[in-house]
Amino acid sequence: MNLLVTAGNTQVLIDRVRCLTNIFTGRTGTAIALKAHERGHTVTLLTSHPEVIDPMAENPQALAARWIVHAYRTFADLHIAMERAIRHESLGAVIHCAAVSDYLAGGVFAPAAGTRFDGPTGRWESDQGPPALVDRAAGKVKSDDPELWLRITRAPKLIDFIRSDWGFRGVLVKFKLEVGLNDEQLQEVAERSRRHSAADLMVANTLEGAAHWALLGPLAGRYERVERAALAGRLLDEVERLAGSRPTRTATESQ
């Protein structure tokens, strides 16, 4: 089977030297990709951290065949790479593990002369007419202003393009991370999110427990708590089972 695995974090550029990102290193997605290759699958790995592959691989030399890696850096890079692979490659499964940015940078601004923000009231005030902001966008935003305001706008969910826009009909796996939820709450949020994206399987965990376990489901109508060390193998068991009866769109069909 041909699998596409995404891993790592995305950068959202503020200027040419600064970005918004998150803390994730791509090790979970890389572990899944390596396990899939070990089982004989052909794997395309999109990752922002290709440097973790060799230290994690038991035998890096064995990756010469059935193994393709494309490194990305930004949200836009990942968007382009995912769309290209899903539209034009014959994939049996997509395992979307990357920690994709939820917001994009919409500009950098400074308060105009006479404009100030009152923290306690959450209101903008001005001594010179309506409050106003001045655009400070640049290749490298200057550090002269006493304060800058970054506008962030909601990013599209890349996983939501996979079925509707990119026409993928194979096995789709979604990942969900939450903070401070118990198992029951996490399962409820995860299942709602899975259905929204028309994913077949969901891997959900909390920031507090991510190093130790994840919930995988739905399996026979329920979610199963899986130890982190066993997650890659257990997930691939279910992907392989589902792929046995699932049609995919081929490259010919996508043209």
Is residue 84 located within the same domain as residue 43?
yes
Tell me the residue length of the chain: 255
Is residue 77 located within the same domain as residue 34?
yes
Select from 162, 172, 246 the least CA-distant residue to 203: 172
- How does residue 247 score in pLDDT terms, banded at 50, 70 and 90? very low
Is residue 109 located within the same domain as residue 48?
no
pLDDT tens by residue, 71-122:
999 999 999 999 999 999 999 999 999 999 999 999 999 999 999 999 999 9
**Residue 193 belongs to some domain of the structure:** no
**Residue 180 belongs to some domain of the structure:** no
Instruction: Find all residues with CB under 8 Å of 216, minimum gap 6, and list them.
Output: 201, 202, 203, 223, 224, 226, 231, 234, 235, 238
Is residue 93 located within the same domain as residue 14?
yes
Question: What domain range includes position 243?
Answer: 2-101+157-175+229-254
Is residue 93 located within the same domain as residue 123?
no
**Residue 202 belongs to some domain of the structure:** no
- How does residue 245 score in pLDDT terms, banded at 50, 70 and 90? low
Is residue 21 located within the same domain as residue 76?
yes
Number of independent structural domains in the chain: 2
Residues 118 and 170: beta-carbon distance below 8 Å: no
- How does residue 128 score in pLDDT terms, banded at 50, 70 and 90? confident
Tokens for 235?
């997930």
Is residue 237 located within the same domain as residue 123?
no
